[in-house]
Amino acid sequence: MVMVLDKCIGCHTCSLACKNVWTDREGQEYAWWNNVETRPGVGYPKTWENQDKYGGGWVLEDDKLRLRLEKDKHYKPPSLNDYYNPFDYDYEQLFTQEILDQQPSADPLDMYSREKIDIKWGPNWDDDLAGADVIAPHDPNWNGIDKQIYLNFKDVFMFYLPRICNHCLNMACAPACPRKAVYKRPEDGIVLIDQNSCRGYRFCGIACPYKKIYYNWKTGKSEKCIFCFPRVETGQPPACTLSCVGKIRYVGVVLYDETRVPEAAKAPEDQLVKAHRELILDPFDPQVIKEARDAGVPENFIKAAQESPVYYMFKKWELALPLHPEFRTLPMVFYVPPLNPVITVLDRNNKYSADYNSIIPAIDKLRIPIRYLANMFAAGNEEEVRKSLKRLLAIREFFRRIEVEGQSKAEAAAVLSEHGLTVNDADMMYRWLALGRNRWVIPTSKKELRVTLTRRGKGPGMGGRQRG
Amino acid sequence: MRTSFEALVLSILLGITLAISLTVGPLVTGQAPDVTAKYVAGNLVQDAQTAMKDVAVEYKTGLTAQQIVYPLSDPGSAEISYNVMHNGTHIAFYIKWKDETKDMPIGDVIDQFPDAVAIQFPVFKGELPYVCMGNTQNPVNIVMWKSNTGAEALVSASAYGRGQVQREALQMFESRTRPIHTAPPEDQIWYSDAYYDNGEWMVVLIRPLGSTSPLTPSLEPGSTTSIVFAVWDGAKDERGGLKKTSGWLTVELEQAAAPAEATTQTVTQTSTVTVTAPGKGGVPGWFVEFAVVIIVLLALAVVYLLARKG
């Protein structure tokens, strides 16, 4: 999946769709398999990116990957205090209150005890930078930035960060489970927890650096985002994607070289994004197609891989980036970093307009510090972020030259070629990013795949390696 | 030249012998039982609070931190006191151990773990299973009591703890299956009660002697079985492999002194099913393995003599 952060309006419709479909039940009240955070902020659970506290992900030592959890087994699973105390409202009060001058109100109730509570935190408490002066300094992504500058009113910035399970290629959750209950489906890469095998030990939840595994206190087992696999199998997008108001989510198949996953996960930090991209194969390469066929990948998956927005945005155009690649799990949800807000300046006529002449050189003067985005999406490698942002600006500049300045496509294409793009790329980007057409290309799945895809190697998937 | 050839032959054969010795594992022998499950006429004490006061715990066993498989426990030890008795129809385990904190997470608690105790039995008669929860050829039956959910019967059958290298060295090529299952409903035959007082747990676990399920071993007065204990301290986040365990202990059930009468209200299944390990026919497993060792040793001697002649 790719999420284009500039388009996220923070409406939480995705979270509610997911909640209504999957977790609106006892034991999962606090669980938001899909959540939307405001950045800068501490997220959900609080400061989940701080692995010194939570113990998630892999650590590279002597060219070997070790679970951080294995190095120190005293990490604890997050508590409700780290997430939030789930609450409901006493709606009955709206009907039974005596008539007053002010509007009736409904007191919050603890969802478990049904007693009145004082709400002190929620899954999106830092929404729209609410209380940013208190909360935002605790965001773990300030490394290398004078955060005080960005907490001043005139310099403050914000964007939304929707999150689901990343269905990683090099999962930390699966090897952490002594019961082998966590597994990755070879046919589509979806990571699942076998509820018959899970014994509720919560090692997986500690090992997941994204804190996207939720213990169900009612069943005594852990649960997670299932990428709406019953929908995906029938060619439909996950509920979060379908319901997305901003049309920010893109779903597609990628073919990747499974045998190189461990090598990619061990790349130097500043090379992790590059190594991750190199795993993804060109679905038009005859050799790749042949090997995919030999491995039992059906034709509709190969065709879908050729039309996949994920392939184009992550691999071909290098617009999308993985969330915290330094955790070394090779996450398969990617983010197109935000340009927001668009730079405007007063022009000669004292009107606000885009400073298109300097728009590309001004990339380092964007409101959101490049360093902040690099800390979040590129293990600190600012060049990866710059490359993505420059291409996003180039496409805007290209269409501006045509629409505003009346240049021909051929004339305007100079700005594209400067950044390694073609007119065809620009047209495709326009259809996907601006118009939001064909945002998901999902082949229907066949149960037989589980049998035929036995050998390791190039497999299809929005993920894909099965351990053990 | 001859000397090095002899050394080669010797080392190969010794290697084979060692591998086979490791493979056969511990054997059930005629040694004196570690524990005697005394026969008592009439009702077994079911109430844990009463048991804490009235049931004498005759046996003590030291438990050590599990240090074989991931995730490794902190080094440490514990001791349980216990008694085992039967009344001809049911068998009761009275287990007492010290635990400074009563850890019983109930309700919407997601970061705490319960105190727990478990008893492991071999499913089949004959060779004892691997002590760390059996393997696919020789599974174990487990009753696990947790402070928050009570007793649950489990079946474990895959020696999940052994790494691939260890498994191959021990010729354990069976495919890895789910390491542990909740046993089917017909195997959920355990009654449990627990009482915590003054830094000490008393857990009572009672089941019928007989079993109609092949996954639950039948126990008969006059026979011997084997057990392993394990305890978990929730306050130390112990769960799964983070636990303290004993080794195999043999338990002999005293002969019933008089015709048995059903005296407890736990379950009504009392019929007996005798199960032997699959593929071993009527010959005890230990006999086969002993014979293999002897044959290999004889082969070693013959080859050595031939080598000397040559």
DSSP classification of residue A56: -
Number of domains in chain B: 2
The answer to whether A210 touches A56, Cβ cutoff 8 Å, is: yes
Least CA distance to B155: which residue of chain A? A197
Label residue B180 by pLDDT band (50, 70, 90).
confident
Least CA distance to B238: which residue of chain A? A201
CA angle B165, B169, B171 (to 5 degrees): 115
Label residue A350 by pLDDT band (50, 70, 90).
low
pLDDT of B106 strictly over 60: yes
Residue A76: list chain B partners with CB under 8 A.
111, 237
Residue A78: list chain B partners with CB under 8 A.
110-111
Residue A46: list chain B partners with CB under 8 A.
none
Q: Report pLDDT for A345.
A: 59
**Within an 8 Å CB–CB cutoff, is residue A74 touching chain B?**
yes
**Which positions 11-40 of A are in contact with B (Cβ < 8 Å)?**
29-30
Question: Which of B110, B133, B178 should one mutate to test binding to chain A, selecting the residue with the greatest count of A CBs within 10 A?
Answer: B110
Q: Report pLDDT for B230.
A: 97
The β-bridge relationship of strands B77-86 and B35-39 is parallel
The span from the CA of B102 to the CA of A386, in Å, is: 55
Q: Report pLDDT for B276.
A: 27
| Alpha-carbon distance A194 to nearest alpha carbon in chain B (angstroms) | 10
- Is the CB of A86 less than 8 angstroms away from the CB of B108? yes
CATH of the domain at B207: 2.60.40.1190
User: Highest mean pLDDT range out of A171-175, A357-361, A463-467, B201-205?
Assistant: B201-205
- Please give the backbone phi and psi of residue B105, each rounded to the nearest 5 degrees, phi first: -65, 120
Nearest to A411 by CA among A393, A424, A398: A398
pLDDT of A309 strictly over 50: yes
| Alpha-carbon distance A79 to nearest alpha carbon in chain B (angstroms) | 5
Q: Report pLDDT for B164.
A: 53
In a 3-state reduction of DSSP, which class is residue A251? strand
Q: What is the mean pLDDT of residues A219-236?
A: 96
Calculate what percentage of chain A has a pLDDT beyond 70. Answer: 90
- Within 10 Å of residue A437's Cβ, how many Cβ atoms? 11
Residue A199: list chain B partners with CB under 8 A.
180, 239-240
Domain match, B102 and B246 both: yes
Question: Which of B108, B112, B148 should one mutate to test binding to chain A, selecting the residue with the greatest count of A CBs within 10 A?
Answer: B108
pLDDT of A284 strictly over 70: yes
Residue B297 belongs to domain spanning: 1-30+283-310
Higher pLDDT, A129 or B47: B47
pLDDT of B3 strictly over 90: no
Please return the burial class of B255, using the count of CB atoms within 10 Å of its CB with bins 0-12, 13-18 and 19+: exposed
Q: Report pLDDT for B69.
A: 74
pLDDT in tens, A237-261: 999 999 999 999 999 999 999 899 9
By Cβ distance, the residue of A69, A215, A468 closest to B110 is A215
- Is the CB of A199 less than 8 angstroms away from the CB of B71? no
Domain match, B175 and B68 both: yes
The β-bridge relationship of strands A58-61 and A64-67 is antiparallel
Side-chain-side CA neighbours of A105 within 13 Å: the count stands at 6
- Within 10 Å of residue B197's Cβ, how many Cβ atoms? 12
Please return the burial class of B168, using the count of CB atoms within 10 Å of its CB with bins 0-12, 13-18 and 19+: exposed
Residue B110: list chain A partners with CB under 8 A.
30, 77-80, 83, 214-215, 217
- Is the CB of B179 less than 8 angstroms away from the CB of A179? yes
Q: What is the mean pLDDT of residues B280-306?
A: 61
pLDDT in tens, A171-198: 999 989 888 899 999 889 999 999 988 9
pLDDT in tens, B20-46: 333 333 444 446 789 999 999 999 999
- Is the CB of B71 less than 8 angstroms away from the CB of A112? no
pLDDT of A294 strictly over 50: yes
Q: What is the mean pLDDT of residues A88-98?
A: 92
pLDDT in tens, B216-236: 999 999 999 999 999 999 999
Q: Report pLDDT for A355.
A: 53
Q: What is the mean pLDDT of residues A444-455?
A: 62
The span from the CA of A394 to the CA of A402, in Å, is: 12
Tokens of A126: 């830092």
CA angle A53, A56, A59 (to 5 degrees): 105
The answer to whether B293 touches B24, Cβ cutoff 8 Å, is: yes
Comparing A168-182, A255-269, A446-460, B141-155, which segment has the lowest mean pLDDT?
A: A446-460
Nearest to B212 by CA among B265, B253, B268, B269: B269
- Is the CB of A179 less than 8 angstroms away from the CB of B180? yes
Q: Report pLDDT for B269.
A: 29
Q: Is the dihedral of CA A375, A380, A386, A392 positive or negative?
A: negative
**Within an 8 Å CB–CB cutoff, is residue A73 touching chain B?**
yes
Q: What is the mean pLDDT of residues B92-119?
A: 97
The span from the CA of A27 to the CA of B105, in Å, is: 13
CA angle B204, B208, B209 (to 5 degrees): 110
Mean pLDDT of chain A: 89
From first CA to last CA, the distance across chain B in angstroms is: 11
Q: Report pLDDT for A161.
A: 97
Residue B181: list chain A partners with CB under 8 A.
196-197
Comparing A26-30, A451-455, B14-18, B21-25, which segment has the lowest mean pLDDT?
A: B21-25
pLDDT of B162 strictly over 80: no
Least CA distance to B144: which residue of chain A? A199
Q: What is the mean pLDDT of residues A155-175?
A: 94
At the topology level, CATH places domain A1-45+123-168+222-468 in Alpha-Beta Plaits (3.30.70)
pLDDT of A361 strictly over 90: no
Side-chain-side CA neighbours of B41 within 13 Å: the count stands at 3
Comparing A301-315, A430-444, B5-19, which segment has the lowest mean pLDDT?
A: B5-19
Nearest to A238 by CA among A452, A451, A464, A33: A33
- Is the CB of B108 less than 8 angstroms away from the CB of A112? yes
Bridge partners (DSSP) listed for residue A38: A160
pLDDT of B94 strictly over 70: yes
Domain match, B49 and B191 both: yes
The β-bridge relationship of strands A108-110 and A182-184 is unpaired
Tokens of A65: 């990957």
Q: What is the mean pLDDT of residues A405-422?
A: 94
The span from the CA of A366 to the CA of B75, in Å, is: 54
Q: What is the mean pLDDT of residues A48-54?
A: 96
Label residue B209 by pLDDT band (50, 70, 90).
very high
- Is the CB of B111 less than 8 angstroms away from the CB of A77? yes
Domain match, B93 and B3 both: no
Strands (DSSP E) found in A235-372? 249-250, 256-257, 321-322, 334-336, 344-346, 352-354
- Is the CB of B179 less than 8 angstroms away from the CB of A29? no
Domain match, B158 and B177 both: yes
The span from the CA of A224 to the CA of A33, in Å, is: 6
Label residue A349 by pLDDT band (50, 70, 90).
low
The answer to whether B229 touches B246, Cβ cutoff 8 Å, is: yes
- Is the CB of B69 less than 8 angstroms away from the CB of A178? yes
| Alpha-carbon distance A19 to nearest alpha carbon in chain B (angstroms) | 18
**Angstrom distances, CA of residue A436 to CA of A134, A309, A313, A430:** 37, 11, 13, 8
Least CA distance to A181: which residue of chain B? B178
Q: Report pLDDT for A423.
A: 97
pLDDT of A357 strictly over 60: no
- Is the CB of A79 less than 8 angstroms away from the CB of B179? no
The answer to whether A50 touches A140, Cβ cutoff 8 Å, is: yes
Higher pLDDT, A5 or A341: A5
Q: Of how many residues is chain A composed? A: 468
pLDDT of A278 strictly over 70: yes
Domain match, B178 and B228 both: yes
Q: Report pLDDT for B231.
A: 98
Comparing A62-71, A127-136, A420-429, which segment has the lowest mean pLDDT?
A: A127-136
Mean pLDDT of chain B: 78
Q: What is the mean pLDDT of residues A17-25?
A: 97
Q: Report pLDDT for A453.
A: 54
Label residue A150 by pLDDT band (50, 70, 90).
confident
pLDDT in tens, B145-160: 999 999 999 888 755 4
DSSP classification of residue B100: S
Residue B180: list chain A partners with CB under 8 A.
179, 197, 199
Domain match, B109 and B227 both: yes
Q: Report pLDDT for B30.
A: 47
Side-chain-side CA neighbours of B211 within 13 Å: the count stands at 23
Q: Which helix (H) or strand (E) holds A41?
A: none
Domain match, B54 and B86 both: yes
- Is the CB of B108 less than 8 angstroms away from the CB of A80? yes
Residue with tokens 């004892």: B128
Comparing A217-221, A400-404, A431-435, B266-270, which segment has the lowest mean pLDDT?
A: B266-270
**Angstrom distances, CA of residue A246 to CA of A5, A252, A430, A432, A439:** 10, 18, 15, 12, 12
Q: HEC string of B221-277?
A: CCCEEEEEEEEECHHHCCCCCCCEECCCEEEEECCCCCCCCCCCCCCCCCCCCCCEC
Q: Report pLDDT for B132.
A: 83
Q: Report pLDDT for B299.
A: 72
Nearest to A187 by CA among A323, A325, A280, A300: A300
Between A and B, how many CB-CB pairs are < 8 A? 72
Q: Report pLDDT for A452.
A: 52
Please determine, for the modelled complex, whether the ipTM score is greater than 0.85: yes
- Is the CB of A178 less than 8 angstroms away from the CB of B237? no
Domain match, B61 and B91 both: yes
**Within an 8 Å CB–CB cutoff, is residue A111 touching chain B?**
yes
Rg (CA), chain B: 22
**Within an 8 Å CB–CB cutoff, is residue A454 touching chain B?**
no
Domain match, B253 and B212 both: yes
CA angle B280, B283, B285 (to 5 degrees): 65
Comparing A200-204, A303-307, A331-335, A396-400, which segment has the lowest mean pLDDT?
A: A396-400
The span from the CA of B209 to the CA of B263, in Å, is: 12
Q: Report pLDDT for A243.
A: 97
Tokens of B3: 């000397």
Domain match, B117 and B178 both: yes
Least CA distance to A110: which residue of chain B? B108
Comparing A126-135, B91-100, B157-166, which segment has the lowest mean pLDDT?
A: B157-166
Domain match, B26 and B126 both: no
- Please give the backbone phi and psi of residue B54, each rounded to the nearest 5 degrees, phi first: -105, -25
Nearest to B89 by CA among B251, B212, B258, B264: B264
pLDDT of A219 strictly over 80: yes
